[in-house]
A = this chain, B = another copy of it.
Amino acid sequence: MPTRFHLSAFLPYRLAVLSERISRRISVEYDRSHGLSVAEWRVLVHLSRCGAVSVRDIHDCVNLEKSRVSRAVARLEQDGLVSKTPVDGDGRLVAISLTATGRAALDEIVPNARTIEKTLRDSVSPEDLDTFFRVMEQWHAVLDRDPVAKPRSRMDLDGVEGPATPGPRDADGMR
C-alpha cells in the first residue's frame, strides 16, 4: 500500500490553515495601525485585563515562550506602550503595566478585533458554535492525557469565559 495522504483532509493541517488565516486577518488591525506583532498584541491584551504582572505570569497566560515575552515587552517599552517597574519585596520580578499610550492603542485596536470576531461568531448558529467549542475542549482533553503533548497553559484551563479574577495566584497577578 502506497502512502497516500491528503494534506487538505488532515485535521491538524486544516486547523492550522484556518487559524493562521484568521490570525493574519486580525493582525492586519494591530500591525497596520501600530506595527505590533502577535506577541506584542497578546501581551497588551493580557495587561489590559490583569494590570501589573510579571513576565512569568504573561508567559503562563498567553501561550508565549518566556523569552518571546521578554523581548515583546522590551519592544513595547521601547515604543512607550508599557512600563516596567521593579517589584519591592522580590528583586527578580518586574511589574509590567500599560501606559496611557498603550491603553490608547488598545482602545483603537480592540473594537476592530471584536468586530471581526463577532462577524465570525454571527456567521454560525449558537448551537453550532457551542458544538465547535465543545469539540475544541475535547481535543484539548485528549492532549492533556497525552504525555508527549505540551501541557495546557494555566489560563486556558480555568480562564475561559470565566470570572475576571486573575487566577490561583495573588489578586494582583504578582508573586
Interface string of A1-39 (1 = CB under 8 A from B): 011111111111111111111111110100000000000
The one of B17, B25, B116, B117 in contact with A63, judged by C-beta atoms closer than 8 angstroms, is: B17
The size class of the interface chain A forms with chain B is 35 or more
**With A23-B16, A63-B20, A148-B25 in contact, do A129 and B121 touch (Cβ < 8 Å)?**
no
Q: How close is A57's CB to chain B, nearest CB, in angstroms?
A: 13
Chain A interface, >50% SS class = helix
The verdict on A146 contacting B25 (CB below 8 Å), with A11-B121, A17-B63 known, is: yes
Q: Mark A131-175, 1 if CB is under 8 A from B, else 0.
A: 111111011111100101110110110011110100000000000
* Least CB distance, A111 to chain B, in whole angstroms: 9
Q: How far is the CB of A19 from chain B (nearest CB, A)?
A: 4
Residue in chain B with minimal CB distance to A27: B12
Q: Is the CB of A25 within 8 A of B160?
A: no
Of B3, B46, B152, which contacts A7 at CB under 8 A? B46
A120 on interface, CB distance cutoff 8 Å: yes
- Would you mind naming 10 contact pairs between A and B with Cβ atoms under 8 Å apart? A7-B42, A7-B61, A10-B117, A14-B133, A14-B160, A18-B139, A25-B148, A124-B138, A131-B132, A132-B135
Q: Interface residues, chain A, CB within 8 Å of chain B?
A: 2-26, 28, 42, 45-46, 48-49, 61-63, 103, 106-107, 110, 113-114, 116-117, 119-121, 123-124, 128-129, 131-136, 138-143, 146, 148-150, 152-153, 155-156, 159-162, 164
